[in-house]
Structure 1
């Protein structure tokens, strides 16, 4: 849908909304009917919209005549569609206009009918009668109270307290809102109020004083729900009486609204003829607008139907002259015309496709041949094509280089004659039609052994084997490089593991040297340090012996032993070696017997403790806690420090080989620890503490 079409439909929607708004505003009760200027603006806006619609319709009619003079074959079909849609749209539209006009006239007549007028006038009379009755009751009550005061004053001495009593009795009997007795200075002498206050006391002005001094009763309305009466007590000098009674606020509001409605109704009744003329004009404009919109939509629908058929005629003429690019623009509708256009374009495509098919096939065959030759020549992988009898029909240059044979020595030969070690998979190849088979073999070329990776794929056509494709990769260099890398990795790990016991040896030697320099010859201390050195040297010797024998880390010699023993050894050693660190052992078990390799597990505890010592070495009040806990079928060892902690982003990499956060670290310590724990079917984890530091945890089975 183009911008022009979108703009047209937006204008139609705006016009419809404008006239719909006009209709709603002209409904009974709308304030618009009271404002002539608003009515005039509505007429002006609707007139402008109708003129624009009429202009669009005239433009469409002129375009039809222009196209007809140019002898366009499509214009005839377009005119037929227009006539059809015009008849279809005019019938319902005219019917709706006539029915709406009748209802409109009836509605205007009902607005000013006798029933409506009688209802409004009677409502006002009822409300006025209620107010009049309230005023009469107020006059009777104020005269009655005045009489009671007068009669008591003739017989007795009228004191302030007696006056208050008389007012109270009348207040309770007559159910009034307020009663006030006041003097000429508006000072209240006695009162009784429903609200127990004088907030409803409204002092009379001079005009009211003059009226009540003449012996009359003055009635005034304070607000929507209070009616007040003033009266002068004739037997008391300059003394006045004020009583208040409540009015039903709802009735009063109805009275006020009814008065307003009567005034508005009389004004509208006087202007009835003018309003009817204005409403009729707007209704005529609305009807014309609806008619024009129907015609314009009919024109649009006619154009939408005739345009694709006209385009189809033009494209057919071009295709008949051999122009296969003359396709018809397809529309997105799911109707017969859309299907016709798609079928026409598909027919052109099929004709063009058949015309070019032979040329394309020849080009494709040639390109495939060139591409296959180029790929086979550039591949470092050897490729061999076999027939169904496993005889070689084709090979690339890489095959000759890998097996050191000429083309004559390869072509026509049987695959299993060249590679005798593949004979054992011949039956598997014939039975596994849908699977590729692979095998790694050693191939002897002039006493030079090559490692070859061979993959055999079956070529099937109509469920029958027609041949095979064999690929050969020379893995000799890759395997050799992997061996070198493996040895290098082992060497690094061994160097790291030898370095661990060297640390306690060095520390023990330094302590011995320091004690000798300080002339502190403690035999037991020297023996303990010497044993530590001897023990660590034995560990190094054992590691080197194992490496020499197996060229790898020692295999775990798992036996049942007391784990608390090696934990105490490690704790005592590091606690004595690092007196500046607060070491703490939280253990409530004398023994924990479980299967483990004493030497390897000692490596793990020492490595984790060494890491904790390095983490707290640069902080004050450093501490390391060894904590044990016994579970149902396992036990747990936690080594907790308050050091610098670990970066959460690096937590997932800490057990990977060669990953380290230390400047001179090898990145093998934790990976070796993880390997040892896994060999013991245990679990190891390191997590950041909630406050500071890190916790290393080991979980072993009992």
Structure 2
């Protein structure tokens, strides 16, 4: 396909050359014919004018024909380029730019030379006729030059003085900018300067002080190249036309105070001339040209020179245009091929290869392009292989990361880690729940800032001690005393090191021993209750029987103080009964039956329990807010009812027979737990005793044994659940029970049963 296209291009090139040759021949014949015709028409005036007329008319004809050829070539090539750009042919845009550039580069200097030459010849001819005009023109120009030179020297002088003062006063410092502004404003007013500009070493304009007499729209800032030259150590003056006026600039570098060779800025002093003297000189020159045109005798001479200059100008333009077209074709064709090949590579075709051209830079570029294509082909194959391997590695790493994150989020223990700078890098959900701190408020924060609350101080001191003394592995138990509860933690810490032994950070695992310790205390209290019940219960029956026998046998015989005798024996019997009741409660607490969970409906148990209290306490409102659907799971119906009765009794006692008791149930699908809330509007529980609410033999009632909530806590723990208390707003208390739907028997329950079995055996 490419060879066919090249053959087609060669045929078109041959046709174009034949067409150009025909045009040149026709042009030559036309020049000869027109010249002969003009000679025939003007040859009758005399033999002396034949050679002159021949030269004049030949030049005129050549001028006209060259102009027509130029127009033809330019129009033809521009039309061709226009259609190539419309078709989107690669290289057409570059060729257009090159043609325009060459034509522009030839037109501008050629026309400039033409007009300068015309002006020079005209001025020379005029000088032949008027010496005063020439003298006046020179004097005017001299006046302008002297004025501009003096203004430039003044600008440079004042700029040097200001630069020296800035260096000596260290005014370029950031904290001295206000002093610099006042100093520049003072010097501008003192020297009657136009505009003073100060630039930093980064070419940033630090300030500009303008003379109020200069309109803002008439001033143009200095070019960045002038500032750059000043920063390179050059002192210079520049004259820049702006509108109807001129700006005269004096540019001086500002040297450093510490090192006189270092340049830290630049200062520019500007003078503004409202009306340009150059424009006035142009007016003088135009008047002088009009004066010359009045000299009709000089026109033939000037016409001859104009014709000669025109011929030279058109020849130069024609040559430059043809050279531009030829050079643009030489450059744009291989570059177009490179552009087309580049587009194919961009679309994924790396099998393309270009034929080397001439032995020049473009040929080297094509050879380099072919090498690059081969290297890209090899690199693409290697990248694809490496990418496949990286994707497999990334998938494996992502899988491991998700597994570790899932593991950390679901593990019951608190897991936190720190980097070598003491910033938290891991803070799992158990840590969020236990410490009441959100993960986003902890990650990438220093641990002293995260663990700054008073209850978390033991953990903070634990970490500080490990880091301070470089303890690689530590195990310790700490207590975190929160306002409404205390958490017992078992901490294990391990320092992390890389393969080279560099310290990477610290990992801390904290296990919550609160429930285990509560279970251990409950077991200890059960053992105490069992021993007390065993030691006290045995002598109570003989004591009671003895008191009853004494009363029955001796009461009829006692004549005096019979009432005292009767009261004492009755007191002994009553106190023995109360002791037996207390011992029975101790025995019940010490020998609570094992949990026997069976499937059941939680809402039915709650409704049955509430029905008893609604009948017994008419002045108290008992409200039930059940979960939208019935909750079915395995639980010990008898023991759970005992829990509800105990909590409802406490609620009724705290409200003094008036108030509201609300029981609400819900199901947490994420944690797979049933939540029961028992809230009352009673007197509430002081924060100081909340931590001891579930301890055995702790009671705030005068007649209480302190075993009710301890039994409740034991039953809930045997179900694998958890109970806690919080304030009920605006007043009262709220007990929250969490029971797992899929139960697991607690470890401490197994240990207790084994010990009970061992002791009973």
TM-score range, shorter chain: under 0.3
TM-score (ref. length: structure 2): 0.21
**What TM-score comes out, normalization by structure 1 length?**
0.23
